[in-house]
Amino acid sequence: MKIAALQMVSTPEPAANLAAARRLIAQAAAAGAELVALPEYFCLMGRRDTDKLALAEDAPDAGGAPAAGPIQQALSRAAAEHGIWLIGGTLPLRVIGDDGQPRTDRVTNTTLVFDPQGRVAARYDKIHLFRFDDGIHRHDEAATLQAGTRPAAFTATDRAGGTWRIGLSICYDLRFPELYRHLSHPDHGGPCDLLACPAAFTYPTGQAHWSLLLRTRAVENQCYMLAPAQGGQHDNGRRTWGHSLIADPWGEVLAEQAEGEGVVLAELKRERIDQVRRQLPALTHRVLG
């Protein structure tokens, strides 16, 4: 199955970001991708951390119908139009407070997955919230985000009838191997064939650790890694690392784009997963956890 990681340089203008996402999705689908993934915050890179609060949408319903918000509707239409599985980067969803009303100070940073009919097939709320301060760059996601509590994976069926188990994660989650071990544990439905990690890594942390961590997660879980990212200089003054990539179960980078908008393509091969797990059956040698 051919897959695609979309790299964006999102702006503070949601309409412009949605237009760019639609264009890139169409480009990936035209190249034969059956599964396409957008980066974290594809819909908004705000001038202030609080900008995402005003953009928040209601959660999709339990039956898989997306909420009426423009972001979910655009993603649902794109998936159905092109007949693809679409990992919708991340978008802010409203948090319901103890009083039954939406909170105005917190949202979730959520990945929604859409099937080829445009239905919501999976939801994952980012569990690990990023905090960083090197004296120049400061970030604290907990100021506006409510952390998720549940890992999530889904099964995608390709056009040839093959099935692929895909684990979800977001950006800072990449630093926590226990999340991926949980997703790949036999008791939790594993192992995964593919791990997805939409991201907006900062330039200094990305330069130091991005590729290293992605390749490590692929190697230790003996599966493919799909990592769509924000990559470039944003209107809000922030610079993200980019280097969207796809890595195979041996840690080999199959395709990568350093900076700027683009489509990164590669092919999932069942025989490659089987080969790696057969020649080095590390997943069967696990003792702890």
The yes-or-no answer on residue 171 being catalytic is yes
Length, in residues, of the chain: 289
135 contact partners, CB below 8 Å, separation of at least 6: none
Among the listed residues 40, 57, 141, 256, the single catalytic one is 40
The yes-or-no answer on residue 40 being catalytic is yes
Give me the residues paired with residue 109 across strands.
92
Query: What is the crossing angle of helices 14-30 and 70-82, to 10°?
Result: 10
273 contact partners, CB below 8 Å, separation of at least 6: 193, 222, 223, 224, 249
Among the listed residues 34, 43, 57, 171, the single catalytic one is 171
C-alpha–C-alpha distance, residues 119 and 88, integer Å: 12
Helix, strand, or coil (residue 72):
helix
Among the listed residues 126, 192, 223, 259, the single catalytic one is 126
Question: Taking a C-beta distance cutoff of 8 angstroms, is the pair 259, 22 a contact?
Answer: no
In whole angstroms, how far apart are CA 211 and each of 2, 3, 161, 242, 251?
A: 21, 19, 32, 10, 10
State the amino acid at position 46 in one-letter form: G
289 burial type by CB count under 10 A (0-12 exposed, 13-18 middle, 19+ buried): exposed
C-alpha–C-alpha distance, residues 39 and 198, integer Å: 4
The residues carrying an active-site annotation are: 40, 126, 171
